[in-house]
A = this chain, B = another copy of it.
Amino acid sequence: MELSATARVVLGMLAAGPKSGYEIKAIVDRSTRFFWAASYGQIYPELRRLAAAGLIAEAEAADGPRRRRRHRLTARGRHALASWLRDADELHELRDEALLKLFFAGHLDRADAIGVLERKRTAHADAARHLREEIEPLAASVERYGPHAALRFGVAFNEFAAEWCERELAELRNGRSNAAFAAKEG
């Protein structure tokens, strides 16, 4: 039973309790979003597929006045999730446009190359601050290990990356390195 990318995050979210598609999207947006996003256009069709495959089922309503379709894991769904989590081959994929710009920064003059690095540093610093200030408070009520660990990684990674950029900037600014750049554009 191969789980699609969206199925993984949907099943994982449902493991913590029954949720609607809307709720799943909201939780993803303020938790896994920075390393695993999902849109309505994926979530709703995926819920259908998972139901058809017997991995999730409709949870009885027992809620307020709003129309809402909550889903829960079935035993098979719980098993599929656990076996994916224990499975060994995962892909780590990083798509970082700032890093691509850095790769080509030698085609800019030194001042513009410094700009590329400064923006990368700022983006990482902003991300770290956002996770600490906006996201961490939301995680305070969560008891399970996972969300806290992932959040700590997110903060640590972004702080690391911002510092790396800062060190690199210091090297570039003092100009002691013999790195090659393009001539200033006239």
- Which residues from chain A sit less than 8 Å from chain B, CB to CB? 8-9, 12, 15-16, 31-32, 34-36, 81-82, 84-86, 88, 90-108, 112-113, 115-116, 119-120, 123-124, 127, 143-150, 152-153, 156-157, 160-161, 164, 168, 179-181, 185
The chain B residue sitting closest to A160, CB to CB, is B160
Contact A104 B35 (CB under 8 A): no
Cβ 8 A contact of A93, one of B82, B86, B96: B96
On whether A149 and B168 interact (CB within 8 A), knowing A34-B94, A82-B107, A104-B15, the answer reads yes
Q: How many copies does the complex hold?
A: 2
The chain B residue sitting closest to A116, CB to CB, is B85
Contact A147 B86 (CB under 8 A): no
Known A144-B180, A148-B179; further 6 A-B contacts with Cβ < 8 A = A35-B100, A82-B107, A84-B101, A104-B146, A144-B181, A156-B160
User: CA of A88 to CA of B156 in the docked complex: distance in angstroms?
Assistant: 24
Contacts of A161 in B (CB 8 A): 153, 157
Contact B36 A92 (CB under 8 A): no
